């Protein structure tokens, strides 16, 4: 059983937002809402400054609080690739999952249910990469099975020290950033 994740090379990401546009188009994300976004993270003081540009989305956490808190089971870990998903017909729109996600990765779809990145599961089932990964002009994202020691994601993870977002929140994210 696969456990899908992503490795993102922040030295390659230029923040062009192609991934954002690709996601909105592929998944028909309603106007004004985003399943993925760009973070410009500037640290330090001049002249010693460091800029990390990241493409961010739901981290498909291994310990997802959004799934634990859902009162109806609408938020669940799909057996296919352990991808964290929402079943709209089971969601009551209580917003507990929005409050439980430390990354603020979820939003309420105008139709009333909780929505977020699905890792483009419909494409992955067809053997394709998620839309954001496939359009990136700098190839900064790699998608694959974290449980497969020979996968490209694991080769990337071994190449440079990776970091995940907000490790202290204890959600065990499956998106890793190479600095």
Partner 1 sequence: MRELVLTRHNELIDPLVRVWGWEIPVYLFLGGWVAGMMILVGYFLLRGRNREDTCVCSVLPGTSVVLLSLGMGALFLDLEHKLYVWRLYTTFEVTSPMSWGAWILLLVYPALAAAFALRPPGILRDLFPAVDRLSRRLDTPVGVRGIAAANLVLGISLGIYTGILLSALGARPFWNSAILGPLFLVSGLSSAAAFGHMVARHHEERELLARSDNVFLAIELFVVALFLVGLLSSSQAHVAAARLVLGGPFTASFWVLVVGAGIVIPLMIQLLAVTHRIAHTRVGPLLVMAGGLALRFVIVAVGQVSHWAKV
Residues that bind partner 1 (CB under 8 A): 17, 20, 32-34, 37-45, 56, 65, 68-74, 88-96, 98-102, 104, 106-108, 111-113, 165-166, 168-170
Dihedral angle sign, alpha carbons of residues 137, 138, 144, 150: positive
The yes or no reply on residue 95 touching ligand SF4 (CB under 6 A) is yes
Q: Is 122 helix (H, G, I), strand (E, B) or coil?
A: helix
| Minimal distance, residue 148 CB to ligand SF4, in Å | 21
Query: Could you tell me the smallest distance in angstroms from the CB atom of residue 116 to ligand SF4?
Result: 5
Nearer to partner 1, 26 or 145 (CB): 26
Among 30, 33, 72, 166, binds ligand SF4 (CB under 6 A): 72
- Considering only 8, 19, 86, 120, the residue that binds ligand SF4 (CB under 6 A) is 86
CB 79 within 8 A of CB 1: yes
Which of 8, 83, 91, 132 is in the footprint of ligand SF4 by CB under 6 A?
A: 91
DSSP string covering 23-87, please?
HHHHHTPPTT--SEEEEEEEEEETTEEEEEEEEEE----SS-HHHHT-SSS-EEE-TTTT-EEE-
Token pair of 153 as six digits? 């994601």
Binding residues for ligand SF4, per CB under 6 A?
58-61, 64-66, 69-72, 74-75, 84, 86, 91-97, 101, 103, 105-106, 114, 116, 171
């Amino acid at each position: 059983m696969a456990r899908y994740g992503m490795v993102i090379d922040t030295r390659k990401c230029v923040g062009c937002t192609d991934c954002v546009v690709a996601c909105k188009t592929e998944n028909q994300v309603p106007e004004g809402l985003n399943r993925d976004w760009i973070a410009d993270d500037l640290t330090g003081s001049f002249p010693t400054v460091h800029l990390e540009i990241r493409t961010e989305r739901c981290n498909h956490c291994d310990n997802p609080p959004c799934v634990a808190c859902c009162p109806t089971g609408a938020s669940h870990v799909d057996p296919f690739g352990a991808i964290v998903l929402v079943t709209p017909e089971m969601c009551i729109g209580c917003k507990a999952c929005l409050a439980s996600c430390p990354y603020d990765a979820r939003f309420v779809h105008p139709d009333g249910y909780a929505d977020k990145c699905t890792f483009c599961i419909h494409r992955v089932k067809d053997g394709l990469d998620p839309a954001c990964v496939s359009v990136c002009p700098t190839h900064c994202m790699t998608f694959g099975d974290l449980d497969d020691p020979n996968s490209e994601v694991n080769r990337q993870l071994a190449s440079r020290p990776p970091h995940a977002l907000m490790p202290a929140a204890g959600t065990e994210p499956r998106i890793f950033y190479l600095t």
